Chain A
Amino acid sequence: MWSEWIKYPLYVCIHPFKGYWDVKYEGKGKMNIALSIVLLLTVVIILKRQFTGFVVNFNNPNELNSIDELIYIVLPFFLFAVSNWAITTLMEGEGKFQEIIIAAAYALVPMMIIYSVTTVISNFITWEEAPLFFMLDSLALLWFLGLLFVGIMTIHQYSVAKTVATFFLTVVVMGVIIFLGLLFFSLIQQMVAFAETVYREIVYRS
């Protein structure tokens, strides 16, 4: 339990090549752990927005919304997973959908840890020390991107160049999915509005 839930995700952060290899071939990663990480990160980011120290917190407390955070983190996560899966199945990637989710979620671990640490220390810093805070936050982001890259590369058994190309295509596909989603909603809206108008006309005339 300890080893699986705490130790192994941390091990992946520090030894990504070996870690992700074991995820793929030794069945080390777990789906429920992955989903817990995403959920926990969401919580951490909600707390970060609210409780970062005043000196470096530029959020308007009147406009903070936890549901929005869910949308900004969980939705892109699954959007990425689906897009990446869609692209890599066409490009001879060896990873399964489940492995993509595990790889992406485990990559979020350093972000989760660093963000919770910076949220705490931000309450004890002055403006002169703020660069440290911003540096740590950027480090978290870079670490995440690095892990994601290695993870996807290992899961699909790609070369570096091919991984870069799939990342680019994944972003394009994410855009396409969002576009289609919006189109779909907009069309449904129009149809509902049309049906409603017809109904109103009939009700008023009879």
Chain B
Amino acid sequence: MKLFSPLLCFTLVFATVFTTAGFKAVSAEVPYDSYNYSYWEKAVPSAVPYKPQAIIDGRAEAYGAFQSPEDLFVTKDNDIYILDSGNNRIVVLDEAFQLRKVIDGFQNGGAADTFNNPQGIFVTGEGSIYVADTDNQRVVELTNEGELIRIINRPESDVIRAGFEYYPTKIAVDQAKRIYVVSRGVYDGIIEFDSDGVFTGFTGANKVTFNPVDYLWRVLATREQRARMSLFIPIEFNNVDVDADGFLYTTNSELNTQTPIQRLNPTGTDVIRKEGYHDIVGDLVYPHTGENAGGSTFIDISVNEYGMYSALDAKRGRIFTYDEDGNLLYIFGQLGNQTGTFRTPVAIDRLEDNILVLDKGFHRLTVFRPTEFGRLVNQAVMHYNIGNDAISAEYWEKVLRLNANYDIAYIGIGKALLMEGKNEEAMEYFLNGHSRKYYSKAYKRYRQEVMRENFGTIMGALLLFPALIIGWKAAGAVRRRRGKAVVE
């Protein structure tokens, strides 16, 4: 017992210290692990980029609890528009999450009209509110005060196939007031209306994909069997966002696609930049069998003015953020029951540096605030985008202090060094960042530099070497002749 008691005491003390420390830590801890993918496609731990800061569910507020909210929009003035679909209303909050107004209906030709399960919202720079009023099969444009401007009904045109169902779910409006609508069950592409609300066509239809085995079966099948098989049809888009230059960022939920995120130019071609190590597909390592099999299923995307875009993976509740070149910057978020995790995440947007995620299952909005690491990465990317390479490199240096395995930071610093003409140092950084392309560039300059400095030595050696050989041979010949002479 004597031997026992000090040990017991120690254990008790230790346990107390440990648990209290644990309790304190919980408030600062995040409910998810953060990781990133290395150059070798391995998931490696990373610093946490974003932490949950606040939950907005309206339960304790005058406007009441949300009911299955479906979409979210943050304007340039930092007003937050929440499309509270279950209550058929729009809740507008200011940047401090205080109520600004609620729009739950509008006057339509003298009669009161309401939404019916609306699923998409977009607010233009001038404050016009566009709502994809899904079950009413229409798009509604309201003034910022909630007065009706116009209603855009289902598109009418010869190019629309028979059996076309129109249930607009997501909407985006570009600078020229062209309206892009994503509709449930429409695989022809994104429906495009001009500024007058006249249907102009489909844009960016996904390509049909099928696997060879399916194709073989189809070829072998009889006509009757073929008629009963599912058709090869392109996958529909499920969300759309528009950036400052009028490019559309879209997501689709096709299984195992290499292009779940597309950046469509005005002609509907995917022009997303893929300069990163890996395809822009979210998770690279995932189970192939079981309940949660398959890669990430993106459901919403948000692009900021520096070309960074964050995509929301509904399958695992993760948010993947890429820079304009397609480098995976950071990953965070998780499905779960704790504060800061999701049940059915449906929409994502940015409020300055914060990321807002709308959860339909939990009927709430979660606000994520960047940690120091996240903030530094954002700053570095921003400064690189606006051309301040040197400042960007300073931020990358700080990022490396928090996460020494951050390959993109090495490349960022390397680029800045290359601009300054420090080729040899740049090579070192590109080597650490696994960037063959830039390493090669830096090396080319470095080699030129060395050659120029040592031109005399190199040329001298080149001339001297043959001279030495010739001399040696000549000397040998002389020696041989003399040897012969001696023998004779």
Contacts and interface: CB of A to CB of B under 8 A. Distances in A.
Complex A-B, nearest 5 residue pairs according to Cβ-Cβ distance, in ascending order: A127-B440, A126-B440, A126-B444, A55-B440, A60-B40
A78 interface: no
Nearest to B427: A54
B189 to A, nearest CB: 38
Interface residues of B, number: 10
Interface string A58-69: 001010000000
Contacts of A124: 447
Classify chain A's interface size. under 10
Interface in A52-107: 54-55, 60, 62
B306 interface: no
Given A124-B447, A126-B444, A55 B439 contact: yes
A128 interface: yes
A85 to B, nearest CB: 40
B202 interface: no
A128 B441 CA distance: 9
A124 B439 CA distance: 12
B35 interface: no
Contacts of A127: 436-437, 440
A183 B26 CA distance: 55
Interface in B433-452: 436-437, 439-441, 443-444, 447
A9 B230 CA distance: 64
A55 B436 CA distance: 5
Contacts of B444: 126, 128
Given A55-B436, A128-B444, 10 more contacts: A54-B431, A54-B436, A54-B439, A55-B440, A60-B40, A62-B40, A126-B447, A127-B436, A127-B440, A128-B440
A103 B444 CA distance: 42
A140 B351 CA distance: 59
Contacts of A128: 440, 444
Main secondary structure of the interface of A (DSSP, over half): helix
Contacts of B441: 126
A52 to B, nearest CB: 12
A127 B436 CA distance: 8
B198 to A, nearest CB: 50
A117 B137 CA distance: 70
9 contacts: A54-B431, A54-B436, A54-B439, A60-B40, A126-B440, A126-B443, A126-B444, A126-B447, A128-B440
Nearest to A57: B436
Interface in B25-60: 40
A15 B444 CA distance: 39
B479 to A, nearest CB: 20
Contacts of A126: 440-441, 443-444, 447
A124 B447 CA distance: 8
A62 B447 CA distance: 29
B40 A55 contact: no
Nearest to B445: A126
Contacts of B437: 127
Interface string B434-476: 0011011101100100000000000000000000000000000
Nearest to A123: B443
Contacts of A55: 436, 439-440, 443
A53 to B, nearest CB: 9
Nearest to A60: B40
Interface string A108-135: 0000000000000000101110000000
B411 to A, nearest CB: 14
A75 B440 CA distance: 36
A133 B482 CA distance: 47
A55 B40 CA distance: 16
A60 B436 CA distance: 14
Nearest to B440: A127
A54 B429 CA distance: 13
